[in-house]
Amino acid sequence: MKKIMRCTGCGKYTLNDCCAVVSAHPAKWSPEDRWAEWRRKAKEASWRAEGLL
């Protein structure tokens, strides 16, 4: 007999050990991503500060 588990991240109940909603995978890429340019600029600035570029 299994116990009902509650996900601490989303609050959903499941019979599995891990919740399928909370995932380690990144979000799906979208061409309409409004913040992609800002993320790239921030990454480039941090890489330059660390001497990686």
DSSP sequence for 2-22: PPPEE-TTT--EESSSS-SSS
Q: What's the pLDDT at 4?
A: 85
**What are φ and ψ of residue 10, in 5° steps?**
-115, -15
- How far apart are the two ends of the chain, measured CA to CA in Å? 56
> Global pTM?
0.42
pLDDT tens per residue, range 15-51: 877 776 666 667 778 888 888 899 899 999 999 999 9
Residue 10 has pLDDT above 80, yes or no: no
44 by DSSP, 3-state: which? helix
